[in-house]
Structure 1
Amino acid sequence: MKRQRERICGLYGITDGRLQGEALLETTEIALRAGLRLLQYRDKTQEDGRRVQEAAALLALCRSYDALLVINDDPELTRKIGASAIHVGEEDPGINDLRTLLGPEVLIGVSCYNDLERARRLVAAGADYLAFGSVYPSPTKPKARRADLSLFRAARPLGLPLVAIGGITQDTMAEVAAAGADAAAVISALFGAGDVAAATQRLQGLFSGKARRHHDQ
């Protein structure tokens, strides 16, 4: 499990729900080929058949590039395709229920929004990584609660990987890394870019360079 947790680092791509089918797979492979190693499949539709097919295809694709696929908000889909990671929010099943369904080895990431106390409770319950956001105004969730970057330093003693999410772009990537996040979740700035390969490399480089300088200080 420790090795799995260590994979929560750097650029954390989240799929754009407007991309489906072959377009989704082709665009994702471009990002993986360019160096993306952490991907979340996020699709809020009720088209279960298509979602199962896409998630299974993405899982195979990620495994071929030694990347980790995280399923968003869907324990049954995670179980059905045999994914090794899931991300859940406050309205999803609790960690104990997820462990019962998915087993002890599945990585469980949790949204903590702007709530450090929630993060502490979830660490005690057995979470594997913590996400805070929205750290900037988000086009995906314009009404999302805002989370100050100071939360990452405050949450560091909790001992789990920390993910920043919400409105992160090339202009803010380095700031997020310097604040102490282990990973930065990106949707639009990655999958909405005209050149996905270049965006992958640029975002990863911005994050990794700043994070290295931060941790070396």
Structure 2
Amino acid sequence: MSKFLYLISPEKITNHKIFLKKLELVFTSNIIKFFQLRVKNQKRKQIILLGKKIIKLTKKYKVNFIINDDPYIAKILNADGCHLGQQDMSINFAKKILKKNSIIGVTCHNSKILASKAFANKASYVAFGAFYPTKTKKVKYRAKLSLIKWAKKNIKKPIVAIGGINQKNYEKILNAGANYIACSASIWKSNIKDPLTAVNMFKK
């Protein structure tokens, strides 16, 4: 089975020990290609401390470790790369900070123009969304499945779909041509009994 899940952390992680146990269990599913650390309102020191523990697990289970927004933290941790939003620094500037051949993903919302720009600047992947309503963040942009089909033809880079994707709707996204589906709330905040069970429900 191919790895098609792009797992994003909860925005708040209060107990590192409990979270790391859950994360390792989730990694045993063997369908997670990327794990992005995206915590909010945390000091950089705390993020680095947690990141040092996470990277041991990502290496063990061969998961790409991505840091949200901050290439400097990615460099300190020797992570596999970082994810940039449209309000973050440019791809070219991030490349100067990160180690050679680092993964750099870019949020493109629902825009063909942003995706084309990311492709021209040699982003590692493009991320589109939100495809569905989501509890994780306020939705400003809604993307359609036709955008994935367009990107498949015109953007020769892996496509990550994000926003409200869950165990009931993910197959539509993959069938449209997305390489990876990004999930957070459907794993960490779902009513399903535990994160591993939630992840296993995505298996094709």
TM over 0.5, yes or no? yes
1:185 paired with 2:182, answer yes
1:11 paired with 2:5, answer yes
2:28 to 28, 33, 38: 33
1:140 to 136, 143, 148: 136
Deviation at 1:142?
2.2
Distance 1:126 1:15 in 2: 26
The answer to which structure, 1 or 2, has the higher relative contact order (CA under 8 A, 6+ apart) is 1
Question: Quick check: 1:12–1:183 contact (8 Å CA) kept in 2?
Answer: yes
Distance 2:99 2:4 in 1: 26
Structure-to-structure mapping, 1:62-77, within 5 angstroms? 62-77=58-73
Unaligned runs of 5+ in 2: none
Residue matched to 1:60: 56
Q: Secondary structure at the match of 1:130?
A: strand
Structure showing the higher helix proportion among its residues: 1
Aligned residue pairs total 198
Q: Secondary structure at the match of 2:201?
A: helix
2:173 to 157, 170, 176: 176
Deviation at 1:62?
0.6
1:46 paired with 2:45, answer no
Query: What is the TM-score normalised by the length of structure 2?
Result: 0.92
Structure-to-structure mapping, 1:79-158, within 5 angstroms? 79-156=75-152, 157-158=154-155
Residue matched to 1:200: 199
1:165 to 151, 162, 166: 162
Question: Quick check: 1:27–1:191 contact (8 Å CA) kept in 2?
Answer: no
Q: What is the Cα-based RMSD across aligned positions, in Å?
A: 1.4
Amino acid at match of 1:29: E
Structure 1 residue ranges, 4+ long, deviating more than 4 angstroms after superposition: none
Deviation at 1:192?
2.2
1:24 to 11, 19, 27: 19
